[in-house]
Amino acid sequence: MTDSKKYKVMIVDDDKFLLQMYSVKFTHCGHEVTSAQSGQEALDKLREGYSPDVMIMDLVMPGIDGLELLEAVHKDKLAPHAVYIMLTNQSAPTDIEKAKDIGIHGYIVKATTIPSEVVDEVVTIREKHTS
């Protein structure tokens, strides 16, 4: 996929290896990446004024999980123009429904999507929700 638009992407995942790998993939495609290893770190960056175009978050994290992070972001009106995407290994329909109820724009299962496809999928979801 050729992608002309470049986005400010925040990736939130407690797995350092995955965080680094996805950061490299998105940066390689020309996007500006900010990462956070926890929901709390993400909230701190958002409260300091960081305003991403896309927020990608894992569902299962210690402390504040992805759903709690999303709820806090909505409640405090942080990153109001962002597109929110879950990138997780949790694929149970109940997890997906709960995320959709809270206002997630996209849900990507890590185990079934290679990293380069994740970048394409994120861009597609972002463009779909902002056009």
Instruction: Name the band, by pLDDT with cuts 50, 70 and 90, for residue 5.
Output: confident
Instruction: Name the band, by pLDDT with cuts 50, 70 and 90, for residue 4.
Output: low
- Which residue from 56, 2, 62 is spatially nearest to 33, judged by alpha carbons? 56
- 8 A C-beta contact, residue 33 and residue 11: yes
Q: Is the whole-model pTM more than 0.85?
A: yes
Q: Report domain extents, the chain.
A: 8-130
Residue-wise pLDDT for 27-64, tens only, equals 999 999 999 999 999 999 999 999 999 999 999 999 99
Instruction: Name the band, by pLDDT with cuts 50, 70 and 90, for residue 120.
Output: very high
**What kind of architecture, by CATH, is found in domain 8-130?**
3-Layer(aba) Sandwich (3.40)
Structure tokens belonging to residue 75: 């409640």
